[in-house]
Amino acid sequence: MEERIVEFLRMGGYAAFVWPAYAVTAAGMAGLLWHSLRAYRRARRAVAALQARRPGRADRA
Amino acid sequence: MHRFANPTRFMRASALVLPWLAVATALLLGAGLLLALFVAPPDYQQGESVRIMYVHVPAAWLASAAYLSLAVASAIALIWRHPLADIAAQEAAPIGAVFTAICLLSGSLWGKPMWGAWWVWDARLTSMLVLFFLYLGYIALVNAFDDEERGARAGAILALVGVVDLPIIKFSVDWWNTLHQPASVFRLGGPTIAVSMLAPLLVMALGFTLFFATVLLLRMRAAILARKLRALRRAEAEAAGRFAAGPRDAAGSVL
């Protein structure tokens, strides 16, 4: 079992190229998701806070 | 399409679609990863290094497809002044730029063991690098104007001019001698790639596409909220100004 895992991780000798390629992809996609979620949550919180302060006007804006 | 021109309607519809889209994306990417790493066979020439293909090729397809959506949204924004089209274009750009970068970096990591070079200035690689700079140029141009609308128009025009790079990317491997392999999936006469490799590739590509849709909807929602926020703040500042400075006439000058 252990041997098979090591064999898999070696990627036939291409580990130094295969794993960084997958890591770059995962990092790029995770970064996009994180950045977009953060922007969305911030905007939603800020709008909610502003509307809570001036409920009447906020609805019309 | 004009039914969704209304941001309020878009917010309602996207809120309904997003959770499903996110779940489908996660399932497809998970399945694609398993297929790519465990099920797909090693290549008879490239060995295990061929597994880089399952992230490199979908990233490359998506980089081009995202640019096409950016250009179409820009055209709609320029011609019909569609209120959501500018937002769609501006939010598609960073996603496309990231996938172009993923394509370039994973390609470099594939090129080194197969060609013996991290980078070569051949047509496919260079036209892809141009695409990356087009994305960056678009983002920089849109943000270079104080007037939001002028920035959006300038960006839209750049996006449309840049479309010329897409056929160059696609046909670069046919028009010029290149190290890069020619098309093996989208070609006349059908795919030449083995089904055991094509299936994981298509699952991965579909996963990447749904990821793009998910993140685009999320970013568009965030952008719409940010615009609403600016409008609310402006209204509040104006109200506060009136209160502090006393009554004003219609033009805003103090009476």
- Quote ipTM for the complex: 0.87
CB contact under 8 A, A50 and B94: no
* Percentage of chain B lying above the pLDDT 70 cut: 93
In this model, does residue B5 exceed pLDDT 80?
no
pLDDT of residue A61: 42
**Of A36-40, B37-41, B155-159, the least confident:** B37-41
Chain B residue numbers touching A33 (CB-CB < 8 A): 215
Smallest CA–CA distance, residue B31 to chain A, in Å, is 15
Is B232 in contact with A51 (Cβ distance < 8 A)?
yes
Q: Which residues in chain A are contacts of B56 at CB distance < 8 A?
A: 21
Q: Does the beta-carbon distance from B51 to A44 stay under 8 Å?
A: no
CB distance B98–A12 less than 8 Å? no
CA–CA separation, B145 and B230 (whole Å)? 17
Is pLDDT above 90 for B208?
A: yes
**Among candidates B56, B225, B235 on the partner chain, residue whose Cβ is nearest the Cβ of A43:** B225
Is the predicted pLDDT of residue B220 greater than 60, yes or no? yes
Could you tell me if B52 lies within 8 Å of chain A, comparing CB atoms?
yes
CA B229, B158, A29, B17 torsion: positive or negative? Answer: positive
Nearest CA in chain B to A61: B232
Which residue of B lies nearest to A16 if distances are taken between CA atoms? B109
pLDDT in tens, A4-23: 899 899 898 899 999 999 99
> Counting beta carbons within 10 angstroms of the beta carbon of residue B196, is it exposed (0 to 12), middle (13 to 18) or buried (19 or more)?
exposed
> Which of B98, B112, B229 is closest, CB to CB, to A28?
B98
Asked if A21 and B109 come within 8 Å (Cβ–Cβ), the reply is yes
- Residue burial B64-97, b: 16+ Cβ < 10 Å; e: rest: bbbbebbbbbbbbbbeeebebbbbbbbbbbbbbb
Domain ranges of chain A: 2-60
Give the confidence band of B233 by pLDDT, cuts at 50, 70, 90: confident
Inform me whether the pLDDT recorded for B4 exceeds 60.
no
Cβ-Cβ contacts under 8 Å, B49 against chain A: 11-12, 14, 17-18
